[in-house]
């Protein structure tokens, strides 16, 4: 009985923490509930996330306010063509006093790393970052350093302007647990954004004045701590996954590999990510078990960047999103491939 009460208390605590974070973010960023949910899923599962969207959708602001809400370190790197791996990872410099090399760590040593426009950097830099994402370790000179925990990369990619960019290969895209496509705000949200922006005002600085930004009005009061985060991460790990849900995941993954329009199907890492993300979503929605709805809601974010359409599908003008939607609609409507094979 005591255990049951403890579990309920823990669930309540987690729910309150999640809601507080959402509320704190909402004070600065209008709308974008879906992105906030995806960021929390990434945070609770330790999976990296790639955000695809045009500039000006408050991505940086969102990550910044999220880090401040949970008292996490935050760094931002603007990826450019002339960026070097040492600019991210760090390097060894000669200390003239001691005449010895000392390690100076780069901005990657943080909890939340915003890799802005990741596809603008050369593959060598992308490779260095993605290796660090996978291993959560960085080697500078002869020294191997562990990255702080939690370590989460939030990379952004502008899907419109492709001139002078280096497309992320499938193997590197697979490293991202989620790939979320940001949409423009609704007209009502847009109205609220404009109103808030007009109310920002100015502040005196030295002998002049500067216009306030959202960053200036952001509250620095954290609503949770790293203990709350760890508790949520543990709670995600305890979320029940039924055998039936596992069968659903296997069926979806299997269908991507046998679909006539898909050349490259989903990797096993995709299946793992689907379960992890579904568990986190269940927690965020106050459940201690996953349901098919979690799978359907997260399928695009988890699967779409892991599959590649074949030439015939592209020639027919099909998109990955349309093919995936059709495939998900076929679940149940057409016989299961697994039972057919059996």
* Among the listed residues 48, 288, 312, the one whose alpha carbon sits nearest the alpha carbon of residue 155: 48
Joined together, the tokens standing for residue 32 give 């974008």
The CA distance from 338 to 340, in Å, is 5
Tokens 């959560």 belong to 136
Least separation in angstroms between residue 4's CB and other proteins is 10
Q: Which of 4, 134, 107, 117 is nearest to 51 (CA)?
A: 117
CB 156 within 8 A of CB 57: no
Per the omega criterion (within 30 degrees of 0), is the bond before 321 cis?
no
Q: Can you tell me the distance from the alpha carbon of 189 to that of 159, in angstroms, rounded to the nearest whole number?
A: 23
Q: How many residues does the chain have?
A: 342
Would you state the structure tokens that stand for residue 148, as one six-digit string? 């702080």
**H/E element, 239:** none
Instruction: Provide, rounded to whole angstroms, the least separation between the CB of residue 66 and other proteins.
Output: 23
Q: Give min distance, CB of 330 to other proteins, in A.
A: 8
In the complex, minimum distance from the CB of residue 287 to other proteins, in angstroms, rounded to a whole number: 9
Type and span of the H or E element at 8: helix 2-28
Place of tokens 């992890």: 276
Minimum distance, C-beta of residue 56 to other proteins, in the bound complex (Å): 25
Cβ distance to other proteins smaller for residue 11 or 122: 11
CB of 278 to other proteins, least distance (A): 11
Beta carbons of 228 and 70 less than 8 angstroms apart: yes
Per-residue CA distances from 140 to 81, 91, 112 (Å): 22, 6, 20
Binding site for other proteins (CB under 8 A): 240, 242-248, 251, 288-293, 296-297, 299-300, 325, 328-329, 331-333, 335-336, 338-339, 342
Give yes or no for a contact between 70 and 199, defined as CB atoms under 8 angstroms apart: no
Nearer to other proteins, 208 or 335 (CB): 335
- Helix then strand count (H, E) for the chain reads 15, 13
**Least CB distance to other proteins at residue 300 (A):** 8
Alpha carbon 271 to its chain centroid, in Å, reads 17
C-beta separation of 176 from 306 below 8 A? no
Residue whose structure tokens are 């990255």: 147
Contact 279, 290 (CB under 8 A): yes
């Amino acid at each position: 009985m005591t255990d049951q009460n403890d579990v309920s208390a823990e669930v309540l605590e987690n729910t309150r923490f999640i809601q507080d974070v959402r509320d704190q973010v909402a004070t600065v960023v209008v709308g974008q509930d879906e992105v906030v949910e995806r960021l929390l899923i990434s945070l609770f599962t330790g999976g990296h996330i790639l955000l695809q969207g045009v500039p000006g959708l408050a991505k940086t602001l969102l990550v910044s306010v999220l880090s401040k809400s949970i008292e996490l370190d935050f760094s931002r790197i603007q990826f450019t063509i002339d960026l070097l791996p040492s600019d991210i990872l760090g390097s060894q410099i000669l200390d003239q006093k001691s005449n010895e090399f000392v390690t100076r760590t780069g901005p990657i040593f943080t909890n939340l790393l915003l890799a802005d426009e990741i596809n603008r950097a050369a593959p060598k830099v992308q490779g260095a970052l993605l290796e660090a994402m996978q291993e959560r370790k960085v080697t500078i000179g002869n020294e191997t350093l562990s990255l702080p925990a939690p370590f989460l990369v939030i990379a952004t990619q502008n899907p419109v302007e492709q001139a002078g960019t280096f497309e992320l290969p499938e193997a590197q895209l697979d490293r991202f647990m989620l790939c979320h496509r940001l949409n423009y705000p609704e007209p009502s949200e847009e109205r609220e954004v404009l109103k808030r922006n007009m109310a920002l005002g100015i502040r005196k600085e030295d002998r002049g004045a500067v216009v306030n930004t959202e960053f200036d009005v952001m509250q620095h009061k954290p609503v949770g701590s790293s203990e709350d985060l760890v508790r949520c991460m543990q709670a995600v790990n305890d979320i029940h996954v039924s055998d039936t849900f596992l069968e659903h995941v296997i069926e979806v993954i299997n269908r991507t590999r046998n679909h006539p329009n898909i050349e490259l199907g989903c990797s096993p890492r995709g299946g793992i990510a689907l379960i992890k993300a579904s568990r986190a979503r269940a927690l965020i929605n106050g459940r201690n078990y996953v349901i098919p709805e979690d799978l359907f809601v997260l399928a695009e974010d988890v699967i779409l960047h892991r599959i590649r359409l074949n030439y015939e599908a592209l020639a027919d003008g099909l998109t990955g999103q349309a093919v995936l939607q059709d495939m998900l609609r076929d679940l149940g409507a057409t016989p299961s491939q697994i039972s057919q094979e059996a």
